[in-house]
């Protein structure tokens, strides 16, 4: 029985190590295949640079600080825009829950508006806000706010009614009901929605950084790569985007998710 | 034992007049019909009364409780309750739901504290009240556990503690002890009677256990699917807990059983 | 009409038993731009197909921007394309001089520095604190604008100076001018004409004034090197067709405008208003001369501005043997 | 009571009419504000066309059939790409559920890859597939497949474990477990996810139609509008995109959702 | 009444050897400890035996059932069950869960048919079996209803019908009648005994109702939190249903109550 406990302990801690091993394995396999394809030379090397070439490019971009500054600027814009989108989208989403008629109408509208590509928002952004950082923020917000809205609305509406009834019965209403019941009850689903909204914000931001040029940001570096047909620079930026995505997911979304899942006992799936 | 008087004595705290309730009977591949559960039901409850409600499965006991709690609106009829001024800010009519309505994102303690938090009770006091009631239901050891870690009976006890902690004017209990073993149940019977006596709370207690009904109730109400309302009321004017083996209580018990038998046959013959 | 993958095969019987010649294909890219007028007209109305003959199947591909065209060329999706000078240089440099060759010119001129009439700019001395736009970071106009500013002693903000250059798409430049968010822009035709007509702007400087003889390249034809080596015959026929088309357009300006607009309508559903069109053409010349010197100079300027990481060696970018052969045959002056 | 039933009936049918009224109201208000802004003339009319101008443009685009053909072509690409994304993403998502280690790793990877803007996929699409319709499909698939993947994975992992346990206990496993339990149990959440994936597909498609020119499709029409700075054409395309989004949501997603919500009893929120 | 023999007679269908089970006790803000529920439990069940299991709330009854069903793995020890060759393709050990594990996306009929569908029973036969069992639990009128439309007791009856429809070799019932009124319960007792007799099914039946335990069981097992295992076994060798008022059965009843009392005191003193 001692053994069993020890083993169970081990199992609890297992994920962290195997998990990192998995990630590394995946990446190694990917780079391996890439190197192989480069070696065989099915694709012209201008379009498919070798890993070494890309690393060199990354080094260059870091040295001339366009990558580092780019990441900094882009992250700042992303966080600012996303925070606002979460604030606004969340608030409207909650209002939609509160007022059913508005909710139903707005919910389809949001899907319609969510399908607007960022390129469609850019002209309005330039017109209404201007050709500057705030214009970029506007595009980011417009592209992700409807995603936040739909997930907030949908997630809360999917909360089992019994929780809401119980809370109301215990005197919760208005803000307290929202804060202490609707939102926590919707959290497992909200995390999924927020992940998607985050990606919408990214897409829009890169698009906006290309169209509203401010000379800084990953979108700009990507754009320059494309303009100069420098494939290794494009790949370098993609790697940066991917790495940021992975890190943010690991450090924020996944942590949050694991915590919530543990509380809810959803990890029983694993057994 | 006495038939209920036309003019019910005492300080009426709760009055239902001509309450009717139907549900849409949404079925797969068929037109929606409506399914009547309560039909012009009248009920008056005296302040401090302990009313037990019995009836065959599906006769509308939970529905009645939900309507009294204000969670469901009746199709027609009125419900009026006397407000207690002492009890400001706190929930007045608290339900212990038949099916666990515990919040999976909170620990046992936090679940029990929930209503108190909503009512704005300061943290220290909250902690104290919660731990008292958790002790009462013998779950001190599990105070920090999450809901999925509890057994069926343990969940039910948390729900009891949660409702009692709120100290409501009217306590609506929907088969609260159904999942508990005899011992626990007996202890909780005692404690409930104790609380009832010392606080003068009004209690409506649904149970399918006739013994429990006659043991605890000042008055027993028999709901019937036949009449879609109260078919029989029996007031028990003896000191509590009522001795189930005494001839008077036994007689009431038998009478109720007969009534139930009748309803049951009716239900069988009207599928 | 033209569209993806659709084929402009000659209407006459493509092969006959008596003609065992090999069936060949040439895939040509171009943009629905004024500077690619030869292609828009010639590929659109079938002139090129006729000139190339029934043994050569012409496939066309429209592009919206240079990088896509270069990518497609790299990926062996097209063989030939009309393109601006900068994408050609970039493609050449990126492929270490291997992937492509310029075989002929297409257009010269057609870019100007316009400023808002109410921006208070009367001379070069008024640039301080102003904001200007170029259509694309690192493109011909962008390089020209930045170089012009430098030559006149202005540094851009990111280099610690007091003028700003904001690259924006042509459409957005119009918006920014109308909104008075910028004071001027260095743009190609027909935008110069449009800004002058609709955005209350006027030409501050015609870029032709900066070049000897007023000639500088704005478009030319590039060929995938491999294709050029394997199919010089096809390219020769194509260059002939290109020269013929150029001459036809230059000698029939009114009809050319009409046909161009017809084709533009097919490609985009839009036409260029006649007055703008005329105005634009007055500052633009269609030619087959690649104007080599201007490309080299422009590339050097791009290097000076930091757009190219190494001083470009463009010695191999031109392969004008076929063009010169054709010119020789026709008794025209060869390009050196 | 008759009255109550009638009223309840009315309530059941109410949504359809008020709903359409709401939509019309919203749109009318929007057009009204727009007209007002145009009249006041804060923005120069070249940049902010009047509603009348836009209607004229729509008429022109419909007459020269670039709008009708554009919608047709775009919808075809969207449906084809999206269908494949759902197929592939769904399959991988389910595999992720099955193999926990893979799932965890892939889940972060998917978030990373989901953040790739479509412009980053275009060069690869040209390289691997070609400068043609299939290249566009590739971009659409890459942009939405990870969204489908994450939502499938997340939604199924959020299914209350008790359903899976019960189904397994009744002999379900493998495909049957998936088909009859995991997917239906995850449906309310999946619908939300699919809505978002649909929007990702749209974004990518418009982007791809601009970068991979094929002369047909809404993206092309939008691009031409931008190239010629024809704001009314841009707005016309946005209206088309919005209308399609609204219609698809109403006719597909919302219908599905309402049906599912009715079954699950989630509409009790409304009361 | 007889003490259980060392060598248990009859054809053993199920054997648990030295089964132990602990749970991680994840608590908010504290290190995970483990909480032992079963400790080296041994149990042999004869084919066709009706074993009732009693014990205080939280003593591990449900855990034991889950382990026998193969839904949870023990930390150590082994479970072996004799396979019945007749029963191919169908679930062998079916659980009626303590907490409704009905599928909310299915109607009552579809819920009852679920296991049969999985087992590949043809549609017609399935329909017939399902409607028989639905009639048995008096829910014919609600055959087309969805789960949220049912009362607590109705849900429990659906779960019973669902399990019985599968005709498993071993039936594991976790407080199946807890939410039912006396009449319904009595009818179902009769029917269960009838099924037991005619099919020779092996039944493990958890209940907190001592009367029920002694009425139905061939053998009564008392689980205890004290010993973390079987504290007491009583075989009742009388024809069924056992008359609860007979002196022998009364004696057993009292004995069990005493044992439970002891456990309860133990639990109280070891919080
Ligand atoms: N949301 C609902 N939609 C439709 N019908 C409902 C709904 N809730 C309850 N019912 C129906 O109302 C009737 C009464 O249900 P109720 O839950 O009040 O019964 P109950 O007396 O509490 O039964 P039990 O003892 O089994 O808990 C049942 O027939 C049930 O099917
Ligand atoms: N998933 C889990 N994680 C942690 N602890 C658990 C889990 N499931 C059960 N437990 C613990 O195991 C013990 C036994 O639980 P179990 O559900 O078997 O009790 P039970 O005998 O069925 O009680 P009841 O009569 O109340 O249903 C309880 O103390 C409970 O807290
Ligand atoms: Mg009930
Ligand atoms: Mg249990």
- DSSP character string of D167-227: HHHTT--HHHHIIIIIHHHHHHHHHHHHHHHHHHHHHHHHHHHHHS--S-SHHHHHHHHHH
Q: Which residues contact C228 (CB under 8 A, 6 or more apart)?
A: C101, C103, C235, C319
Token digits for A40?
């065989």
pLDDT band of residue D27 (cuts 50, 70, 90) is confident
User: Would residue B234 be called left, alpha or beta, if left means φ above 0 and alpha means ψ between -120 and 50 degrees?
Assistant: beta
pLDDT band of residue C112 (cuts 50, 70, 90) is very high
Give CA–CA dist E117/D180, Å, rounded.
10
Choose which residue among B108, B154, B159 to substitute to test ligand 2 binding: the one with the highest number of ligand atoms within 8 A of its C-beta. B154
Q: Residue with the nearest Cα to atom 19 of ligand 2?
A: E58
Give the model's pLDDT for residue B84: 62
Give CA–CA dist E4/D267, Å, rounded.
54
Give the model's pLDDT for residue E3: 43
Backbone torsions φ then ψ of D94, nearest 5 degrees:
-70, -40
Structure confidence by residue, pLDDT tens digits, C31-89: 988 889 999 998 888 888 888 888 888 888 888 888 888 888 988 889 999 998 888 98
CB D111 within 8 A of CB D151: no
Higher-confidence residue of A131 and C251: namely C251
List E residues 70-109 in contact with A (Cβ-Cβ < 8 A): 72-73, 75-76
* Residue C182 clears pLDDT 60, i.e. is over it: yes
Give CA–CA dist C272/C285, Å, rounded.
17
Is C28 in CB contact (< 8 Å) with chain A? Answer: no
Instruction: Report percent pLDDT > 70 for chain C.
Output: 94
Unique residue bearing structure tokens 């690991």: A250
Structure confidence by residue, pLDDT tens digits, D158-168: 898 899 999 99
* Residue B267 clears pLDDT 80, i.e. is over it: no
Backbone torsions φ then ψ of C311, nearest 5 degrees:
-65, 120
Please give the distance, rounded to the nearest whole angstrom, from the Cα atom of residue E207 to the centre of ligand 4: 9
- Ligand showing the shortest atom-to-Cα distance for residue B21: 1
Question: How would you class E194 by CB atoms within 10 Å of its CB: exposed for 0-12, middle for 13-18, buried for 19 or more?
Answer: exposed
Give the model's pLDDT for residue D7: 44
The lowest-confidence range among A250-259, D69-78, E241-250 is E241-250
Chains that touch B (3 or more CB pairs under 8 A): A, D, E
Chains that touch D (3 or more CB pairs under 8 A): A, B, C, E
What single-letter DSSP state applies at residue E40?
E
Q: For chain A, first and last CA: distance in Å?
A: 19
Give CA–CA dist A77/A217, Å, rounded.
9
Q: What SS3 state is found at C105?
A: strand
Query: What's the 3-state SS for A61-89?
Result: HHHCCHHHHHHHHHHHHHHHHHHHHHHHH
CB C256 within 8 A of CB C37: yes
Structure confidence by residue, pLDDT tens digits, B62-81: 999 999 998 888 999 888 88
List E residues 29-88 in contact with B (Cβ-Cβ < 8 A): 29-30, 54-58, 61-62
Q: Residue with the nearest Cα to atom 1 of ligand 1?
A: E149
Q: What SS3 state is found at A213?
A: coil
Pocket, ligand 1, Cβ cutoff 6 A: B 23, 37, 55, 57-63, 98, 208; E 148-154, 179
* Residue C169 clears pLDDT 70, i.e. is over it: yes
The lowest-confidence range among B19-28, D45-54, D99-108, D261-270 is D261-270
Closest among D222, D230, D219, D195 to D122, alpha carbons compared: D219
Question: How would you class A52 by CB atoms within 10 Å of its CB: exposed for 0-12, middle for 13-18, buried for 19 or more?
Answer: exposed
* Residue D13 clears pLDDT 60, i.e. is over it: no
Question: How would you class C296 by CB atoms within 10 Å of its CB: exposed for 0-12, middle for 13-18, buried for 19 or more?
Answer: middle
A131 and C166: CB-CB below 8 Å? yes
Closest among E173, E172, E256, E263 to E214, alpha carbons compared: E256
Structure confidence by residue, pLDDT tens digits, E59-116: 899 999 999 998 888 999 888 887 765 555 566 788 898 887 899 999 999 999 999 9
Is A128 in CB contact (< 8 Å) with chain B? Answer: no
Give the model's pLDDT for residue D181: 92
pLDDT band of residue D140 (cuts 50, 70, 90) is very high
* Residue E229 clears pLDDT 60, i.e. is over it: yes
The angle that helices A118-128 and A133-157 make with each other, rounded to 10 degrees, is: 130
| Separate counts of helices (H) and strands (E) for chain B | 7, 10
Give CA–CA dist A120/C49, Å, rounded.
38
Say what the alpha-carbon torsion angle C91, C97, C99, C100 is, to the nearest 10 degrees. Answer: 80
CB E104 within 8 A of CB D263: yes
Question: How would you class B187 by CB atoms within 10 Å of its CB: exposed for 0-12, middle for 13-18, buried for 19 or more?
Answer: middle
Question: How would you class B267 by CB atoms within 10 Å of its CB: exposed for 0-12, middle for 13-18, buried for 19 or more?
Answer: buried
pLDDT band of residue C11 (cuts 50, 70, 90) is very low
Give the model's pLDDT for residue C94: 85
Unique residue bearing structure tokens 């709401």: D22
Question: What are the chain D neighbours of C270 within 8 Å (beta carbons)?
Answer: 224, 228, 230
Higher-confidence residue of D14 and A71: namely A71
Strands B12-27 and B30-46 turn out to be: antiparallel
* Residue C3 clears pLDDT 50, i.e. is over it: no
Give CA–CA dist B211/B236, Å, rounded.
13
Best-predicted range by mean pLDDT (A37-51, B84-98, C80-94): C80-94
Give the model's pLDDT for residue B28: 59
Question: What are the chain A neighbours of E77 within 8 Å (beta carbons)?
Answer: none
Q: For ligand 2, what atom is nearest to the CA of residue E24?
A: 4
What are the CB-based long-range contacts (under 8 Å, 24+) for A182-186? A182/A94, A182/A97, A182/A156, A183/A156, A184/B103, A184/B105, A184/B106, A185/A156, A185/A159, A185/A160, A185/B103, A185/B105, A186/A152, A186/A155, A186/A156, A186/A158, A186/A159
* Residue A14 clears pLDDT 70, i.e. is over it: no
By Cβ distance, the residue of A8, A12, A271 closest to E22 is A8
Q: What SS3 state is found at C76?
A: coil
pLDDT band of residue E158 (cuts 50, 70, 90) is very high
Element (H, E) at B39: strand B30-46
Give CA–CA dist D268/E12, Å, rounded.
50
C269 and D221: CB-CB below 8 Å? yes
- Ligand showing the shortest atom-to-Cα distance for residue E63: 2
Average pLDDT, chain A: 84
Is D118 in CB contact (< 8 Å) with chain A? Answer: yes
Give the residues across from C58 on adjacent strands: C26
Give the model's pLDDT for residue B33: 72
Question: Mean of the pLDDT values across residues D195-199?
Answer: 89
Token digits for D31?
């057009």
E103 and D162: CB-CB below 8 Å? no
Other CB atoms within a 10 A radius of the CB of residue C109 amount to 25
Q: Which residues contact C265 (CB under 8 A, 6 or more apart)?
A: C271
Question: How would you class E7 by CB atoms within 10 Å of its CB: exposed for 0-12, middle for 13-18, buried for 19 or more?
Answer: exposed
Q: Which residues contact D111 (CB under 8 A, 6 or more apart)?
A: A195, A198, A199, A245, A246, A248, A249, A253, D146, D150
Give the model's pLDDT for residue E10: 63
Token digits for C213?
């003889």
Q: Cα dist. D123→A56, A113, A252, D130 in Å?
A: 20, 28, 31, 9
pTM of the model: 0.87
Give CA–CA dist D30/D23, Å, rounded.
11
Structure confidence by residue, pLDDT tens digits, A74-106: 999 999 999 999 999 999 999 998 888 888 888
Q: In what order do the strands lie in the sheet with B50-54?
A: B2-3, B229-235, B219-224, B50-54, B202-206, B170-174, B93-96
* Residue D152 clears pLDDT 60, i.e. is over it: yes
Average pLDDT, chain E: 85
Backbone torsions φ then ψ of B260, nearest 5 degrees:
-60, -40
Give CA–CA dist C19/C53, Å, rounded.
12
Element (H, E) at C27: strand C24-30
Question: Mean of the pLDDT values across residues D39-50?
Answer: 79
Give the model's pLDDT for residue E178: 87
Unique residue bearing structure tokens 């915590």: A259
Give the model's pLDDT for residue A2: 43
Give the model's pLDDT for residue E123: 93
Interface test with E, best of B30, B34, B37, B58 (most E CBs within 10 A): B58
Give CA–CA dist B206/D189, Å, rounded.
35
Unique residue bearing structure tokens 């071993």: E170
Dihedral sign for Cα atoms in the order E206, E211, E217, E221: positive
Give CA–CA dist B117/C33, Å, rounded.
69
Give the model's pLDDT for residue E125: 93
By Cβ distance, the residue of B29, B154, B183 closest to E264 is B183
Give the model's pLDDT for residue E87: 53
């Amino acid at each position: 029985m001692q053994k069993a406990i020890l083993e169970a302990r081990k199992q609890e801690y297992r994920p962290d190590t195997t998990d990192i091993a998995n990630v590394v394995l995946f990446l190694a396999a990917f780079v391996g295949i890439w190197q192989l394809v480069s070696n065989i030379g099915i694709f012209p090397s201008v379009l498919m640079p070798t890993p070494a070439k890309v690393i060199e490019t990354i080094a260059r971009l870091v040295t001339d600080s366009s990558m580092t500054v780019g990441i900094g600027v882009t992250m700042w814009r992303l966080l600012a825009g996303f925070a606002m989108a979460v604030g606004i989208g969340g608030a409207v989403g909650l209002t939609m829950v509160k007022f059913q008629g508005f909710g139903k109408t707005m919910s389809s509208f949001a899907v319609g508006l969510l399908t607007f590509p960022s390129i469609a928002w850019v002209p309005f952004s330039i017109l209404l806000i201007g050709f500057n950082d705030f214009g970029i923020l506007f595009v980011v917000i417009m592209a992700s706010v409807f995603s936040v809205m739909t997930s907030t609305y949908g997630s809360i509406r999917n909360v089992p009614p019994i929780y809401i009834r119980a809370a109301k019965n215990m005197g919760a209403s208005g803000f307290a009901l929202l804060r202490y019941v609707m939102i926590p009850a919707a959290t497992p689903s909200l995390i999924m929605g927020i992940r998607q909204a985050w990606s919408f914000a990214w897409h829009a931001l890169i698009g906006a950084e290309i169209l509203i040029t401010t000379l800084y940001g990953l979108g700009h570096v990507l754009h320059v790569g494309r303009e100069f047909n420098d494939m290794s620079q494009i790949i370098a930026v993609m790697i940066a985007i991917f790495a940021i995505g992975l890190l943010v997911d690991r450090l924020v979304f996944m942590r949050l998710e694991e915590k919530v899942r543990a509380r809810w006992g959803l990890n029983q799936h694993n057994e | 034992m006495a038939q209920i008087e036309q003019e019910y004595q005492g300080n009426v705290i709760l009055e239902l007049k001509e309450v009717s309730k139907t549900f849409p009977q949404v079925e797969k591949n068929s037109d929606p019909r409506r399914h009547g559960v309560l039909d012009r039901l009248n009920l008056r409850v005296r302040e401090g009364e302990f009313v037990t409600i019995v009836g065959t499965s599906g006769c509308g006991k939970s529905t009645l409780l939900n309507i009294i709690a204000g969670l469901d609106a009746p199709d027609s009829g009125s419900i009026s309750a006397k407000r207690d001024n002492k009890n400001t800010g706190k929930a007045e009519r608290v339900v212990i739901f038949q099916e666990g309505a515990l919040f999976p994102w909170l620990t046992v303690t936090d679940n029990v504290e929930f209503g108190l938090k909503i009512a704005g009770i300061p943290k220290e006091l909250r902690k104290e009240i919660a731990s008292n009631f958790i002790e009462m239901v013998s779950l001190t050891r599990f105070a920090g556990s999450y809901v999925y870690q509890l057994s069926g009976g343990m969940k039910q006890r948390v729900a009891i503690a949660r409702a009692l902690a709120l100290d409501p004017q009217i306590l609506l209990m929907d088969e609260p002890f159904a999942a508990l073993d005899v011992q626990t149940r007996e202890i909780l019977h005692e404690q409930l009677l104790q609380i009832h006596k010392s606080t003068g709370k009004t209690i409506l207690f649904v149970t399918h256990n006739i013994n429990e009904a006659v043991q605890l109730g000042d008055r027993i109400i028999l709901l019937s699917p036949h009449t879609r309302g109260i078919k029989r009321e029996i007031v028990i004017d003896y000191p509590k807990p009522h001795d189930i083996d005494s001839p008077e209580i036994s007689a009431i018990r038998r009478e109720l059983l007969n009534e139930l038998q009748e309803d049951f046959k009716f239900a069988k013959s009207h599928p | 009409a033209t569209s993806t993958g659709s084929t402009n095969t000659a209407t006459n019987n493509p092969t006959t038993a008596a003609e065992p010649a090999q069936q060949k294909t040439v895939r040509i890219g171009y943009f629905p731009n004024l500077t690619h007028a030869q292609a828009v007209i010639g590929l659109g109305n079938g002139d090129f197909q006729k000139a190339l003959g029934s043994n050569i199947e012409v496939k066309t591909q429209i592009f919206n921007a240079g990088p896509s065209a270069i990518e497609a060329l790299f990926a062996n999706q097209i063989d030939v394309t009309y393109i601006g000078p900068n994408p050609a240089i970039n493609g050449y440099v990126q492929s270490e001089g291997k992937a492509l060759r310029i075989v002929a010119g297409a257009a010269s001129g057609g870019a100007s520095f316009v400023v808002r009439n109410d921006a208070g700019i009367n001379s070069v001395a008024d640039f301080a604190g102003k904001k200007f736009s170029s259509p694309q970071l690192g493109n011909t106009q962008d390089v020209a604008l930045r170089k012009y500013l430098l030559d006149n002693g202005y540094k851009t903000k990111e280099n610690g100076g007091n003028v700003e250059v904001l690259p924006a798409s042509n459409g957005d430049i119009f918006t920014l001018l109308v909104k008075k968010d910028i004071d001027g822009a260095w743009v190609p035709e027909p935008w110069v004409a449009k800004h002058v007509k609709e955005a209350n702007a006027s030409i501050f400087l015609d870029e032709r004034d900066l070049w000897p003889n007023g000639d500088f390249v704005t478009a030319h034809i590039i060929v995938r090197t491999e294709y050029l080596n394997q199919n010089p015959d096809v390219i020769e026929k194509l260059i002939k067709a290109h020269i013929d088309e150029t001459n036809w357009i230059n000698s029939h300006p009114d009809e050319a405008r009409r046909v161009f607009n017809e084709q533009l309508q097919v490609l985009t559903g839009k036409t260029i208003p006649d007055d703008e069109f005329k105005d634009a053409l007055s500052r633009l010349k269609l030619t087959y001369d690649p104007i080599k010197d201007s490309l080299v100079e422009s590339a050097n300027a791009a290097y000076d501005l930091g757009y190219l990481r190494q001083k470009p060696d463009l010695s191999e970018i031109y392969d004008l043997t076929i063009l010169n052969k054709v010119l020789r045959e026709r008794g025209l002056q060869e390009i050196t």
